[in-house]
Amino acid sequence: MRIVCAEAVWCDIATQIGGPAVSTEALVVSTRADPHDIATTPAMARAVAQADILVLNGAEYDPWAGALAEASGGEAPMVLNVGQIGHWREGDNPHLFDDLETTRLFAAHLTAVLTQRRPDAQEALARRADSFTHIVAGLQTREQAMANRLRGRTVAMTEPIGGALLSALGIRVIDDRLALAMMHRNDPAPRDVAMVEAALRTHQVGALIVNPNVTNPSADRLADVARQARVPIISMTEIPPPGRHWQDWIGDRLDALGHVTGAPS
């Protein structure tokens, strides 16, 4: 069963669930890539056209991948849209790989699809799916324990990456409008930039979360202000490093968020 994923993180999960019953190929694999803004290539189009299943994040995050499926011609692949599986709604955070429950739902849905298509592998698929579900449950337990300590603390961010984790931990984001503007490649309002600068200088926030692939004058200035004020900077990418499983990548994020400083607001 050939599975092509828009982003490498979903192929990692598909490989953990499918094992030898699947082969996977991710279209976006570099940690320096920004899946919001991808220029598709003929190689990507060929990969999608040859796939049995295409996994995309959805949630208005990677529309270019859906367009490749629509243009593939012939027998188009089955499309698994994580946003639809996780009941994403317009206005919700699109970084669904940070949402543990959505990831669990995707894994369960993929298991059902693979079992239907490969009934001969049902027992092995069920074992791997149970193992993955146990991994997700462990991360959810860790989230709950961390929330008891971190709930009410505040951070600033230059893009709403990690949003589901922050919500689960009870960490408040001081600058939703600024982060959303930067995610959509718009210039943030000067008043929002000024408010975040002041919050960093006066230590009203316990960390600045940045996406290293989002570089613009406002984001760079806020990082400089954070360094000058000695506010911790937490870097989060949208693609895991090569060889890093989703659960380890999420664990790294939780490790970093555990260092958010300050008293609850």
pLDDT > 70? residue 265:
no
Handedness of CA 4, 51, 69, 83 (dihedral sign): negative
Q: Residue 259's pLDDT is what?
A: 87
Residue 111 shares a structural domain with residue 9: yes
Q: Residue 176's pLDDT is what?
A: 87
Residue 160 shares a structural domain with residue 111: no
For residue range 187-231, list pLDDT tens digits in order: 899 999 999 999 999 999 999 999 998 888 999 999 999 999 999
Q: Residue 36's pLDDT is what?
A: 83
Show which of 103, 120, 142 is a domain's final residue: 142
Residue 61 shares a structural domain with residue 138: yes
Would you place residue 125 in the very low, low, confident or very high pLDDT band (cuts 50, 70, 90)? very high
Show which of 142, 174, 205 is a domain's final residue: 142
Asked whether residue 262 is assigned to any structural domain, the reply reads no
Asked whether residue 243 is assigned to any structural domain, the reply reads yes
The label of the residue with tokens 């570089």 reads 215
Residue 27 shares a structural domain with residue 117: yes
Q: Residue 180's pLDDT is what?
A: 87
Residue 12 shares a structural domain with residue 127: yes
The alpha carbon of 201 is separated from its chain's Cα centroid by a whole number of angstroms, namely 29
Residue 133 shares a structural domain with residue 194: no
Residue 171 shares a structural domain with residue 87: no
Beta strands in the chain (DSSP E): 2-7, 23-28, 53-56, 78-81, 154-157, 172-173, 208-210, 233-235
The label of the residue with tokens 């008293």 reads 263
Residue numbers of the domain that contains 157: 151-257
Q: Residue 175's pLDDT is what?
A: 86
Show which of 96, 116, 142 is a domain's final residue: 142
pLDDT > 70? residue 264:
no
Domain count, the chain: 2
For residue range 77-118, list pLDDT tens digits in order: 999 999 999 999 998 999 999 999 999 999 999 999 999 999
For residue range 8-39, list pLDDT tens digits in order: 999 999 999 999 999 999 999 998 888 888 99
Residue 163 shares a structural domain with residue 137: no
Residue 142 phi, psi (nearest 5): -65, -40
The mean pLDDT value of the chain amounts to: 94
CATH number of the domain within which 226 lies: 3.40.50.1980
Would you place residue 263 in the very low, low, confident or very high pLDDT band (cuts 50, 70, 90)? low
pLDDT > 90? residue 74:
no
